[in-house]
Amino acid sequence: MIKIKREGILLRPTPLPFENKSVFNPTTHQEGNTVHMIYRAISDSYMSSFGYARLKGPMEVVERWEEPFMSPRYKYERKGIEDPRLVKIDDTFYIVYIAHDGKNAVLAYCYGQDLFKLKRGGIISPKLRYNKVAKLLRSASVKDDYFFFEAFYSSYAGKDVMVWDKDGLLFPKKIHGNFVLMHRILPDIQVAYAKELEDFKKNEYWKEYFKNLKEYVVLEPKYGFEKRHIGGGCPPILTRWGWVKIFHGTEEENDGRVYHAAAALLDKNDPQRVIARLPHPLFSPEEEYEQGGHVNNVVFPTGTSKFGDRLFIYYGAADSHIAVCSLKLDSLVKELLKYKE
C-alpha cells in the first residue's frame, strides 16, 4: 500500500502579465537542498511561456522571477511553448518542450552548461505530415488507434498538419552511448535513440522509425483509468531496481476527461522492457484544486525531487496551479514489484 501525502498548492498565478491566467506542469532539477523549477505560465491572452522559481528544500519558495524564464521566439513557437522537461546529462542541461504554431505541436529543445544561459536547439520531432506518416504506419501494422488520431488531427487542424508529438523528455543518462528521447505520438509512449540530438532533426531518421514504430513502443494504454491515452510525465528516476517512470493516464467519459498519475518500472539498460506497472492510478484528482480549474479533473505529474526517503512529485492541478504530493520511493517500488509484467 502506497501512502500518498497531499502537500497542497505550491504556486498560484500572479498579477504579472505573463502568468496571470495559470501556472502548471513544472519541471525540476535538484542540486542538494535546492530545487530549480521551470513551469508553464499562461497569460490572459492565452500565450504560454516558462516561469522560474527556486525552492529551498521540497516546498519553500525562496525566489520567483517576475519575468519569463523563456518566451516564444521563433515561427514554430508563435502560439506558445509548453510543458518543459529538464534533465542534466553529464555537465549539460537539456530542456525538451512543446512548441506550438497554432496548427502544429512539435518537440524542440534548448541546452547549455549554464541553466540560465541556454541555447535553442531547434525541432527534434518529425517534420512530416500526418497523412504521410499514416502511410508509413500502415506498413508497420500498428493498431487502429493511431489512424483514429491521424483522422482526428487532420479534421482538427487540416490535411497538411504535421504529426503531433508531445510529452517529450530525455532520460537523464545516455544508454549504450545514445540519447534516449521518450515521446508520445498518440495513443502510446515511445522511445527513440540517437548518438547526437542532431539526428532527430532528419526526416529520413523518422521515416525509418515510423516503418518500425511497434519496436519503439514502451507503454500502451492498458487499464481503464488510461484507456484514451497515456503521456510522458516526469523524467525517469534511476534506482537500483530500474527506472521509476511516473506518467499520466487519461480516460474519457461522456462528461469529460480525467487525468490520473500512473507508474511503471523500466529496465536500467533497456527502457523498452517494462519490469512492472501499477494496474491502478498512483493518484487521481480528489482535491478541490484538482477537480475544478481551467481544465477540470487533472493531475499532470511532470517533475520530482527526493529528500530523505521521500519522493516529492510536482504536478499541474486542473491546468491552474502547481501542486505537490509525496510518498516513500521504496514503498512505490515495492508496490510496483507486486505487478510484474
Domain ranges of the chain: 5-339
Closest CA to 188 of 153, 142, 122: 142
How far apart are alpha carbons 325 and 6 in whole angstroms?
4
Element (H, E) at 54: strand 48-56
pLDDT value of residue 40 = 99
Q: Which pairing describes strands 242-253 and 229-231: parallel, antiparallel, or unpaired? A: antiparallel
- Report, in this order, helix, strand and coil percent for the chain, each rounded to 5: 20, 45, 35
Helical segments of the chain, H only: 130-140, 145-157, 203-211, 288-291, 329-336
pLDDT value of residue 140 = 86
How far apart are alpha carbons 126 and 134 in whole angstroms?
13
**77 near 70, Cβ under 8 Å?**
no
Give the contacts of 165 (CB within 8 A, at least 6 positions apart).
105, 106, 107, 125, 126, 183, 184, 185
Task: Pick 5-339's CATH classification: 3.30.470.20, 3.30.9.100, 1.20.1050.10, 2.115.10.20.
Answer: 2.115.10.20
Give the contacts of 199 (CB within 8 A, at least 6 positions apart).
205
pLDDT value of residue 118 = 99
**pTM, to two decimals:** 0.97
pLDDT value of residue 65 = 99
**225 near 191, Cβ under 8 Å?**
no
pLDDT value of residue 305 = 99
pLDDT value of residue 253 = 86
Query: Going residue by residue through the chain (341 aa), what tens digit of pLDDT does each one get?
Result: 799 999 999 999 999 999 999 999 999 999 999 999 999 999 999 999 999 999 999 999 999 999 999 999 999 999 999 999 999 999 999 999 999 999 999 999 999 999 999 999 999 999 999 999 999 999 888 999 999 999 999 998 998 999 999 999 999 999 999 999 999 999 999 999 999 999 999 999 999 999 999 999 999 999 999 999 999 999 999 999 999 999 999 999 888 999 999 999 999 999 999 999 999 999 999 999 999 999 999 999 999 999 999 999 999 999 999 999 999 999 999 999 999 99
pLDDT value of residue 139 = 86
Give the contacts of 127 (CB within 8 A, at least 6 positions apart).
106, 162, 203, 206
pLDDT value of residue 87 = 99
Sign of CA dihedral 324, 179, 227, 222: negative
